[in-house]
């Protein structure tokens, strides 16, 4: 009987350790799954933060570029206005020059008609 008792006790101890082994396996598996979930969550947060930082940097750069573009467009408009004014002034001066040329030719003809001698 003592041998049977030892066998029964051994069976009980083996059963307990066997069950403990199964429990330990499921605990380790659960902890591993929880760790993986935590790693995925941390990776998602890190990726989200990186995207937010990149997006913010790009938005700031876009604002700078947009501001500079607006300044260049303002300068371009000013220069176009100056060009328009200068072109108008050139047209007026060319018209005045043409009038002076006509006046000069008219005066040369008058002098020639009066018998005033050579060309001026």
pLDDT in the model for residue 98: 97
Number of neighbouring beta carbons within 10 Å of residue 111: 14
Which pTM was predicted?
A: 0.51
Give the contacts of 120 (CB within 8 A, at least 6 positions apart). Answer: 104, 107, 108, 111
Q: Higher pLDDT residue, 97 or 119?
A: 97
- Is pLDDT at 118 greater than 60 in this prediction? no
- Is pLDDT at 74 greater than 70 in this prediction? yes
Question: Using CA atoms, how far apart are residues 68 and 63, in angstroms rounded to an integer?
Answer: 9
pLDDT in the model for residue 7: 67
pLDDT in tens, 15-70: 556 656 666 767 877 888 889 899 999 999 999 999 999 999 999 999 999 999 99
């Amino acid at each position: 009987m003592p041998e049977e008792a030892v066998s029964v006790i051994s069976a009980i101890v083996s059963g307990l350790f066997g069950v403990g082994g199964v429990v330990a396996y499921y605990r380790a598996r659960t902890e591993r799954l929880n760790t993986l979930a935590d790693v995925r969550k941390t990776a998602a947060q890190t990726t989200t933060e990186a995207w937010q930082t990149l997006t913010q940097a790009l938005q700031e750069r876009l604002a700078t570029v947009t501001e500079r573009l607006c300044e260049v467009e303002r300068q371009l408009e000013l220069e176009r206005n100056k060009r328009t004014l200068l072109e108008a002034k050139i047209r007026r001066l060319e018209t005045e020059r043409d009038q002076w040329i006509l006046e000069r030719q008219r005066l040369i003809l008058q002098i020639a008609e009066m018998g005033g001698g050579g060309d001026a």
